[in-house]
Structure 1
């Protein structure tokens, strides 16, 4: 049964990607339709918010390319405050659903495909699961979709996974939403994140691990 469900999921994702017209998922396409989307949002604000949220959850759950562009669109349509709420909840719900898919449907495949990575993740989760997950969300050692897949094989609870993911993804979400407010001026991803900003995210991501090492060292000295 699991194999059949896995194949069905694979077929759905593949069809979604194949049926999309060329260059549908691109910054240029987003900019081309920006004025129409803004008008639609002005006429139907609640419907636009619901459609955006549902789209984000779907993209995040199935790991369909385009989450970054959707975040930029969220900044252009909804602004920083409402956009942060919609994107953070959409991304976190999608990540949690993807984690559950991995746990109950893709477990055998993930275990075989990513055995070496799972060993590292299990070690990190055993030492300090919350801080380890928080660090991965702030400055992911693995891509977004891979974190969801790997965490599905750990014993992390759904509630903790949701809460830590929500908080950990907020800084990057705010940066992209803020850039989305100037969507028409963007030319590439380089306009959003400078090398300095990327380094900052990396350093922030390692802070939870560094604090744990410092606390452990202090504890050893006391004993």
Structure 2
């Protein structure tokens, strides 16, 4: 294989991730105001009328737009989640939100793994010292770590999408943990969207900080603790030879 062909193959592997990065940058500069609560407020009557007249097309269009937003890390993912509740109620809105977010997260995961993740994970496996120990610790705790980065509200969604691809997480494990791990947050914000009509009628803005309210945050932290138990108990189990 010639050097030129090797370079071309490497460039091809990086192309999806480069496209995602370019679109994300353009979206951050151009779409900040396009996907917003102000835009939703201005077009809410037209959106509701279209949903009532073409429900299936509304679901498909909403899901496709949400997938694009997540795949390219565009601004407005949180607005999209709330919009899912506004248009389709808490149920089945949360189902559409979780489905679309999982598909978009999986696409960016695949792009990152194809471009960088596979080689980086292989180098970590072949490494020595601290790098090898770090990779071994990650491999031993993949399930709890995957759930933790989804459940902890402070972890940015795009970080939780990219990080697993860079440490060699299997696709099936990533998809399952993503779909299940985002349910609590999606349920909270979808329910906020379900009450958005009354908020708009009162001329107010939805409270997106509700996830940090004690009655919401404490159960989520409880789930985080439950997800972290295997990591916390592993040294004890090793000491007991279990």
Q: Same fold (TM over 0.5)?
A: yes
Aligned-residue CA RMSD (Å): 3.0
For residues 104-132 of structure 1, what are the alpha-carbon distances to aligned partners after superposition, in whole Å with 9 as ceiling and x for unaligned?
A: 12549x99xxxxxx999846522311111
What SS does structure 2 have at the residue aligned with 1:60?
Answer: helix
Q: Identify which of 216, 225, 232 aligns with 1:213.
A: 232
What SS does structure 1 have at the residue aligned with 2:181?
Answer: helix
CA contact (8 A) 1:88 1:166 kept: yes
Structure 1 runs, 4 residues or longer, greater than 6 Å off = 118-121
Residue in 2 that maps onto 1:137: 150
Q: Distance in 1 between matches of 2:42 and 2:63?
A: 21
Q: Identify which of 4, 15, 23 aligns with 1:12.
A: 23
Q: Are 2:92 and 1:82 aligned? A: yes
Q: Distance in 1 between matches of 2:80 and 2:234?
A: 39
CA contact (8 A) 2:116 2:166 kept: no
TM-score normalised according to structure 1 size: 0.82
Distance change (3 Å), C-alpha of 1:120 and 1:145: farther
TM-score normalised according to structure 2 size: 0.76
Residue in 2 that maps onto 1:151: 164
Q: Distance in 2 between matches of 1:133 and 1:53?
A: 24
Distance change (3 Å), C-alpha of 1:80 and 1:132: same
Q: Are 2:198 and 1:187 aligned? A: no
What pairs with 1:6-155 in structure 2 (closer than 5 Å)? 6-20=17-31, 23-107=33-117, 122=135, 124-139=137-152, 142-155=155-168
Residue in 1 that maps onto 2:4: none
Q: CA deviation at 1:210?
A: 2.6
- Long gaps (5+) in structure 1: 112-117
Q: Are 2:220 and 1:201 aligned? A: yes
Q: Distance in 1 between matches of 2:189 and 2:132?
A: 32
Distance change (3 Å), C-alpha of 1:37 and 1:219: same
Q: CA deviation at 1:142?
A: 3.1
Q: CA deviation at 1:23?
A: 2.4
What pairs with 1:153-172 in structure 2 (closer than 5 Å)? 153-172=166-185
Larger radius of gyration: 2
CA contact (8 A) 1:76 1:181 kept: yes
Aligned residues: 216
Q: Distance in 1 between matches of 2:133 and 2:184?
A: 25
Q: CA deviation at 1:166?
A: 0.4
